[in-house]
Chains A and B, each alone.
Chain A
Amino acid sequence: AQTVTQSQPEMSVQEAETVTLSCTYDTSESDYYLFWYKQPPSRQMILVIRQEAYKQQNATENRFSVNFQKAAKSFSLKISDSQLGDAAMYFCAQMNRDDKIIFGKGTRLHILP
């Protein structure tokens, strides 16, 4: 079965500090994609970062990086130098080659000034 689990419903981090959001998944496929989406109050979904499973190198986008552990089926998101604008809901998602995508339930991130 294809599943995505975000075990942290809420997290808080001090401004300028680093925070890591956890995500684990399960799929029978060997080739797939992983995503992190950010959802601000507008309810829009913003693609933060993506990782292709066949690439061993962890994806990085400015202050956002992932720790992709394929064997452990883990895909955590690290946000460095946290800013107030990073406060949002974050969704982890996993997509197989047939384009079927499954979302986690989300982690609400608070940034403390």
Chain B
Amino acid sequence: DTAVSQTPKYLVTQMGNDKSIKCEQNLGHDTMYWYKQDSKKFLKIMFSYNNKELIINETVPNRFSPKSPDKAHLNLHINSLELGDSAVYFCASSQTGSQASYNSPLHFGNGTRLTVT
């Protein structure tokens, strides 16, 4: 069973389009994240949701909108795609809660490679 699954694995689209990347975790975790990995392999956090509430919202264009229908899902919707959006996007989850600390293990999905042409 895949703990954190992202779909699609690859996404090729043209500038100006709107696309979504889905993420689901079956670990029962209460916190989910989106990271963007650039060409130099730096990973930057974009968003974090805890129990469906946004808790981290780094400086990203407002064309990026996360949506969490429930604790097990955190989808990333991107409007008006630009060339610079091309990257690998990683979803992750952890159990934060009242007892666990920020240092609870992070489980990553396998990433979605987005290519904007």
**Shortest distance from the beta carbon of B7 to any chain A beta carbon, whole Å:** 15
Q: Interface readout for A23-37 with B: 1 if CB under 8 Å, 0 if not?
A: 000000000010101
Contact of B105 among A47, A99, A105 (CB under 8 A): A105
B111 in the interface, Cβ–Cβ < 8 Å? yes
Q: Which of B28-85 contact A (CB under 8 A)?
A: 33, 35, 37, 40-45, 48, 56
**Residues in A neighbouring B33, C-beta threshold 8 A:** 43
Kindly state the interface size class of chain A when it binds its partner.
20 to 34
Asked, given contacts A43-B48, A99-B88, whether A37 binds B43 with beta carbons under 8 Å apart, the answer is: yes
A113 at the interface (CB under 8 A from B): no
Prevailing SS type, chain A contact patch: strand
Contact across chains for B111 and A100 when beta carbons are under 8 A apart: yes
Q: Tell me if B113 is interfacial: C-beta within 8 Å of chain A.
A: yes
Q: For the complex, is A62 an interface residue (Cβ under 8 Å from B)? A: no
Known: A44-B44, A95-B41, A101-B88. A89 touches B106 (CB 8 A): yes
A85 within 8 A of B: no
Alpha-carbon distance between A91 and B44 when the two chains are bound, in angstroms? 14
The interface residues of chain A lying within 8 Å CB-to-CB of B102 are 41, 43
Q: How far is the CA of A44 from the CA of B58 in the complex (A)?
A: 10
**From A37, which residue of chain B is reached at the shortest CB distance?**
B43
Residues of A with C-beta under 8 A to B88: 99, 101
Roughly how many angstroms separate A108 CA and B41 CA in the complex, as a whole number? 22
The 3 tightest CB contacts between A and B, nearest first, are A45-B43, A41-B102, A103-B108
Chain B residues within 8 Å of A, Cβ to Cβ: 33, 35, 37, 40-45, 48, 56, 88, 102-103, 105-108, 110-111, 113
